[in-house]
Amino acid sequence: MANPSITDPTKKYNQPPFPKQQELEWPGLDSQMDPQPDWGQDSYKGSGKLAGRVALITGGDSGIGRAVAIAFAREGANVAISYLPQEQADAEQCKQFVERSGAKCLLLPGDLRQKAYCSQIVEDTVKEFGKITTLVNNAAKQGKAVGSLAELDYERVAETFTINILSFFETSKAAVAHMKPGSTIINTGSIQAYKPSEEILDYATTKAAIVGFTKGLSSELIEKGIRVNCVAPGPFWTPLVCASFPKDKIKEFGAQNAPMKRPGQPAELAGAYVYLASEDSSFTTGEILAVTGGGITA
């Protein structure tokens, strides 16, 4: 008899072509996607690995961040999520999933392009929950695909860097001031750090910077007993995709750029973040954990 818990990973989720999508404006909303992403809300089973912990997740309202928030809550952690004000509907839905899991959820609307906000979300998290034990630097800007370097104007590149890497510096700096030994920082990188796509070169370059940031910061903070790691996703079915690529590319997303011939679902990433936040990874720091559907990062 077949074991129902074992599945063929190439067929576990929908494969392209997908229904005709609307091209979204950044940051996009989960509610605007068809099919809806799987965030693990019906499938993730916790086992108390993060009991008593407090996590702050930037970009935690939707996509990967939402899946991580749900998983952390199921593992026993209280969660704070930051997001743009225009993503309030997604944030409210994420809060419902977290609270149904038995955890508390703090909503922190604002803009990571503002330096003060990067530190304020840490202070608000500590004020609400009394501590912060895990920071997930996850929020990102991925602009529309372009045809050449000439189309990447200074303002766009500067904004991408401000959100995708400068906010990591500022938020991490604020968090470390409150963190005790055993705490963790997890950065969201990308396979784009290793296989950059020219049409989103600004985004890809920031993801390479996150790899360097992770490795360098891990060396500094290990003396404080704080571990720093990175998860590098491949192509995943999130609003960021529909806000970046034209309709024809969205329809076939994952078919060409993942050996599994499909995009990953946010739920398939959650376990990687739980591992890096928990005692299971107590001897792991400075690591880049790739979850790419077979894409090679070495």
| 3-class state of residue 285 by DSSP | coil
In order of 20, 21, 137, 233, 246, the CA distances from 35 in angstroms are 10, 9, 26, 20, 17
Facing residues of 105 across strands?
79
CA distance 249 to 272: 27
CA distance 219 to 255: 38
DSSP 166: I
Alpha-helix residue ranges (DSSP H) falling in the chain: 63-74, 88-100, 115-129, 154-161, 167-176, 201-221, 239-242, 247-251, 267-277
35 φ, ψ (degrees, to nearest 5): -75, 160
Task: Say if residues 44 and 267 touch (Cβ distance below 8 Å).
Answer: yes
- Pick the closest to residue 18 from 217, 282, 251 (CA basis): 251
Is residue 44 annotated as a catalytic residue, yes or no?
no
User: In what helix (H) or strand (E) does residue 203 lie, and over which residues does it extend?
Assistant: helix 201-221
Place of tokens 């202070």: 123
- Pick the closest to residue 58 from 32, 87, 36, 93 (CA basis): 87
- Catalytic position from the list 13, 117, 203, 273: 203
Tell me the two tokens of residue 224. 């404080």
Question: What is the identity of the amino acid at 74?
Answer: R
- Pick the closest to residue 90 from 118, 73, 71, 70 (CA basis): 70
Any idea which residues carry the catalytic annotation?
203
